[in-house]
Structure 1
Amino acid sequence: MVAGRKPSLAPAGRAVLVTGASSGLGEACALRLERTGFRVFAGVRKEADGEALAGRSAHGRITPVRVDVTDRASIASAAQEIASLTAGRPLWGLVNNAGICVSAPLECVDPEQLRQQLDTNVVGQLAVAQAFLPDLRRSRGRIVNVTSGLGSVALPYLGAYAAAQFAKEALTDVLRRELRSQRIGVSVVQPGAIMTPIWSKVSAGGEAALAGVEESVAELYRVPFLRFLRQNEAGAAASGTRPGDFAAAVVKALTAARPRARYRVGDDARRAGVLARVLPDPVLDRYLRPLTD
């Protein structure tokens, strides 16, 4: 231990809920937290996904919990289940990871798609936090909200998703400030592009969005947008950032004696943070223009 630095918090005996744990980053996070020593409640929507994840548990400390973050009754049921399973020792950590990604030119985003994007990635995240704040207050625990580099810079064709990420960043800032006096630590983890199953869903959803509008509108965007989708997926496949890097950042946010406000994972996420701080809007617009030309 470095002289003068507070020791990290010990995971043993602490319980953490990870939402969106059925695949991708959430799955990697749940497995890493369990190996670190936490007891993990893995939030999933399908029972089969929970059973598969529990089967990969290294120490038998992963318990699947069915929860749909867009359904308040489901959230309340999950909170009751976790309270009964922790035998009076309140939940200590919450990792708000569940989310979807709507990718389409904003002119082609159906209002219902935007509502679903915001309901899942913003409203649902706050609803989960509200449900568990009484426990987190008693345990003086931690909240980790997962956003992305798009919470710093809004890219063309990812406007709906970026709107949700910007909003979640704002919610996190406010929660961190409001809950500080209650001894609840709140951090953001911002992963950049990481190859997970979400990318194939993004591409499929984007192509469907074009098919759902008038051809005269779709034609305006088709060439650059489909190129963007291909480049996006290829960039994620080529990324040197791995799900394990993301999971390690979540572990840091949960165990650091003094957690940082933000943990950026990957060169692209760190670059987005720098660009947002130093470039004037006209310069940033020119930097991103090749995406739409």
Structure 2
Amino acid sequence: MSAAVQMCGVLLLAGVLHSFGVVAFAACLIPPIIWIVSQKQSAGPIDPKGRAVLITGCDMGFGHLLAKQLDQLGFRVFAGCLFPDGQGAQSLKKECSSELNILKLDVTLDEDVEKAKAFVEANLPAKGLWGLVSNAGISSWGEVEWKNIQDYQREADVNLWGSIRIAIAFIALLQQSKGRFIFMSSISAYIHSGGCSSYSITKCGIETFSDCLRIEMKKFGIKVSIIEPGNYTFATNILQVKTTEEVWNKLKDSLKSIYGREYIQLCIDSLHETINTSSRNPVDVTDTIVEALISPSPKIRYLVATLVERAIIFMCVHFPTWFTDVVFSYSKGQRKRNKLVASQINH
């Protein structure tokens, strides 16, 4: 290192110490030091042989692909499917080894969860249940006053309460193996824009629940990780976009006079544009889940997002709320929709 570079480093350090003080500077060093000390050296990744993983939501999307990957790695896979006789479940049976087991599993039903638990307990390999991947999820779109409370309950029953229900049921088995909880969240836990309230609520809940569970499970040696995918709507087919007529027919007459068909059509066009720009490889996400399962030191959070998505998250987390409100409320598409509503009201 040249003398000039060393001098710049000394001056920079001196500037920091002068600006913030020695105590404040030392305090900033505490978190990274604790993190470095806490990292344990390991010979390599966890060996899948003799270990089982339960995955919810394997009919399609991330869960379906992950079941195949874990089967190929040598895990015994318990693939929870809403439709065990459906196309997704049958393709898993056909393409995977005999170590993969299809379970009928609706995470909103206590009976299904109890039956799944009994089956898993009776068919565990030597090293027990190593991982629980809570992947089952649904998504819908619509402005708040277009929805009813049942719409919110339906989404929460699967995404949030379903994840909690399955976690409670399998805690004891993971305690025995000192295994892993993996929860599927989303960048929607950070980005709260119009039309996404029912989905964002559930993902915020998953983040909070996972953080609390991680602290509680630490004494048992259980690791808890959160996966935060960006826009993979096209790959997962999680969002079923309704037609203009379907949305229109559900609206109350009082709302029809406010919004109008053109407003709804613009919203649907925007949704299709979002879906069409999300043609990304879902393996990015499933590879990340595999890492969380087999890494000797898994991360607490795995953000699988583009640079643009990361920038938006940074804005939402660190910028003043009024600023993000301006960005979301006055984007090109939203401005046009706002004008339509204003013209409808003025009429």
Any idea what the Cα deviations from partners look like across 1:49-80, whole Å, max 9, x if unmatched? 322222121x4332111111000111000000
Which among 313, 323, 326 is matched to residue 283 of structure 1?
Answer: 323
Q: Secondary structure at the match of 1:132?
A: helix
Which among 122, 143, 168 is matched to residue 206 of structure 2?
Answer: 168
Give 1:159's aligned residue: 197
Structure 1 residue 96 corresponds to structure 2 residue 138 = no
Structure 1 residue 32 corresponds to structure 2 residue 58 = no
Give 1:292's aligned residue: 334
Q: Which has the higher contact order (CA 8 A, sep 6+)?
A: 1
Q: CA deviation at 1:145?
A: 0.4
Q: CA deviation at 1:143?
A: 0.6
181-190 or 222-231, which deviates more: 222-231
Which among 51, 61, 76 is matched to residue 99 of structure 2?
Answer: 61
The number of aligned residues is 288
Which among 229, 238, 251 is matched to residue 290 of structure 2?
Answer: 251
User: Runs of 5+ in structure 1 lacking a partner?
Assistant: none
User: Runs of 5+ in structure 2 lacking a partner?
Assistant: 1-39, 336-347
CA distance in 2 between partners of 1:261 and 1:206 (Å): 41
Instruction: Give the TM-score taking structure 1 as reference length.
Output: 0.90
Structure 1 residue 136 corresponds to structure 2 residue 178 = no
CA distance in 2 between partners of 1:61 and 1:230 (Å): 44
Paired amino acid for 2:57: G
- Tell me if structure 1 keeps the 8 A contact 2:70–2:290: yes
Structure 1 residue 273 corresponds to structure 2 residue 313 = yes
- Tell me if structure 1 keeps the 8 A contact 2:184–2:228: yes
Q: CA deviation at 1:253?
A: 1.0
CA distance in 2 between partners of 1:206 and 1:124 (Å): 30
Q: CA deviation at 1:264?
A: 1.1
Q: CA deviation at 1:230?
A: 3.0
RMSD: 2.2
CA distance in 1 between partners of 2:236 and 2:257 (Å): 28
CA distance in 2 between partners of 1:30 and 1:227 (Å): 38
Which among 247, 250, 274 is matched to residue 212 of structure 1?
Answer: 250
Instruction: Give the TM-score taking structure 2 as reference length.
Output: 0.77
Structure (1 or 2) with the larger CA radius of gyration: 2
Which among 97, 115, 122 is matched to residue 77 of structure 1?
Answer: 115
Q: CA deviation at 1:91?
A: 1.3
- Tell me if structure 1 keeps the 8 A contact 2:174–2:180: yes
CA distance in 1 between partners of 2:207 and 2:247 (Å): 26
- Tell me if structure 1 keeps the 8 A contact 2:137–2:238: no
- Tell me if structure 2 keeps the 8 A contact 1:40–1:62: yes
CA distance in 2 between partners of 1:88 and 1:264 (Å): 33
Give 2:28's aligned residue: none
- Tell me if structure 2 keeps the 8 A contact 1:46–1:66: yes
Q: Secondary structure at the match of 1:41?
A: strand
